[in-house]
Amino acid sequence: MFFYLQCRFTAGAPEIRVLTPESTEHHAPLEQTLYLQPGVQRLETVPLPDGGQLFLLGDPVFRRSDQTAARLCDRQGNLDIAALYTEIPGHYNWFYLRGSRFLCGNSFGALFPVYYQIRNDRIFLSSSVFFLAGQTDPGVPDRRHLLERLLFNYPFFDGTSFSKIRLLGAHRQITVTETGAGVETPFAVERHFGAGLQKSAQSLTELTELFENESRLFLPEAPFAISFTGGFDGRTLVAAARKAGRSDFLTYSFGMPDEPDVTFPAAQAKAVGIPYLPIHLDTDYVNRYALDSAWAFLRLSEFNGNFGRPHYHYAAKLLAEKTDYILTGNFGSEMFRAMHQPGVMMSEALLRIFATRDASWKDFLRAAAGRQAGAFFRAELDGLIADLEQYLDAKKGLDPNQRFYVFVLEEIFRKYFGPELVMQSHYLRNRTPYLSLHFFAALNETVWSGVHARLFEKQKNKRLKGQIFYSAFLHRTDKQLYRLPTNKGYSPADVLETWRRPLLLGRVARQKFLRGYNGDSNAVETYFLRYRGDIAWQIQAQEYDVLLQSGIARQLEKGAMVPDTLEKTIHYYSIAAGWAAAARATKRAASNQTV
């Protein structure tokens, strides 16, 4: 999936040109032409009552009706973004043309990015920051962007690898008229946080009914696959498909052979009589595919990905041979319970910013950068802290957990999960039923929503409430899956039926004692230790002054790491690869401008 536009403000609305997957016409793009290349995604057009045309590029999930277009407009006949998110879930970019007016944005959660540059009398837009860098003056590789990735694993705000190119914020839109272009904020996610007061059995029943109907909408008309690892998220989607009467789907998971990530769902799929495809991350995978998949993940995600996730690319390619669609439980757990442990998704630095009540988080950021990097990035660090203060101050009216959830919905989802979905979009369509504004808003009226938990709640008995929804849904839709144990050692019935709670506690303790994972179930350590030298050779970090002076290049020179530092080591390699790619792109852009 790809789009590109170079538009002069005074020249009116652009022409739409839809390209075939093999077309290279956009390599020499014309002005005032919006190039749309769906690839394995699709393009939908919705004429609106005001005479405008709405184009949806990606995988919008909706059933057309005579009322669809009318429901997308407000009382004045203008495009209503909240209505768009509610009526048409899924992952896509949208473009709206009416007369000389042009608007664009992305779907709820903003998983598919919009990169842009506003310069003099025109605007440049693209789904690819590296393509955009080749069409305009991208500036220089952005040191602030590098610092943010160093501290948080992903950029915090709207910066990109290039100093003169921005990333459109979540739930924003770009508006282009004859007088200029700008970014507007037509949607505030916190307005959909609800009261969180409903807790009756009837409320739970109504919520499960709503999700049953909503998830049915996400089931494609063609055969599909469901990610099934033995936990609650995937099991609930399997139950939804079975309740809808679908039998034309398979389930899958990936992991090293004989690891529970593969053996457990295989046994459960056999027990309920559904097809299961194991994606083995075995010796053959490590020897033949892992390294290429690691680099492919980075390239296809615009270098926002991570060297620790080659198995996602490998799985996407294999699954694309069997289906055009996958359904995954992405975003499910985060909807029901607040994250609380630092890791790749939420660094310790990020946790401190939202959890610390005083200003000590500033000192932590400076220390977290490291002595050498902290000194090198002093100006960038001062600017980051100032922007963070402004960001937190703008949301001081929210309680701490709700303030964090705004960041989850607007930044973590698209910065952590986004690279995965962008990469997958080159091969298939990943549908994520939990990321639906309709369901999210309804959930937030109840006590089972993570929005209404305590910030970074760690008490397991309080974090269990998210599993109550899953269990109630399974009890309603699939008694067989309701009774089978999950990979946590207990069944949904143990969660929902209060008399079984003592059994649940005993099974949790037993599972913790008998847990059979070897710590490298996805073969990440195995592949990375083997190819670390090859990756470092391809990056050539010593050629880039910023990587040298910041100390990042030094991290790539160290000897073999112990397992507990593997994640951090992979992180350094990933951000170094992104910096090197941006440096090469700016050099090419400067050369083209000189010519």
> How many whole angstroms separate alpha carbon 519 and alpha carbon 95?
45
What is this structure's pTM?
0.95
- For 225, the enclosing helix (H) or strand (E) is strand 224-227
pLDDT tens for 464-497 read 777 899 999 999 999 999 999 988 888 899 888 8
Give the rounded percent of residues in the chain with a pLDDT score beyond 90.
74
43, 57 Cβ separation under 8 angstroms:
yes
pLDDT band with cut points at 50, 70 and 90 for residue 515: low
In single-letter form, the type of residue at position 108 comes to F
- SS3 for 563? helix
pLDDT band with cut points at 50, 70 and 90 for residue 562: low
495, 467 Cβ separation under 8 angstroms:
yes
pLDDT tens for 275-322 read 999 999 999 999 999 999 999 999 999 999 999 999 999 999 999 999
Q: End-to-end distance of the chain based on CA atoms, in angstroms? A: 30
115, 138 Cβ separation under 8 angstroms:
no
Is 588 exposed, middle or buried, given 0-12, 13-18 or 19+ CB atoms closer than 10 A? Answer: middle
pLDDT tens for 112-156 read 999 999 998 999 999 999 999 999 999 999 999 999 999 999 998
Per-residue pLDDT at 503? 66
- SS3 for 256? coil
Give the rounded percent of residues in the chain with a pLDDT score beyond 70.
93
CA distances (Å), origin 14, targets 80, 115, 152: 22, 17, 38
Residue carrying the six token digits 């045309």: 53
Q: Which residue has the higher pLDDT, 341 or 425?
A: 425
At 236, list the tokens.
């609930």
Residue carrying the six token digits 């089978």: 484
- For 278, the enclosing helix (H) or strand (E) is strand 276-280
489, 508 Cβ separation under 8 angstroms:
yes
pLDDT band with cut points at 50, 70 and 90 for residue 595: very low
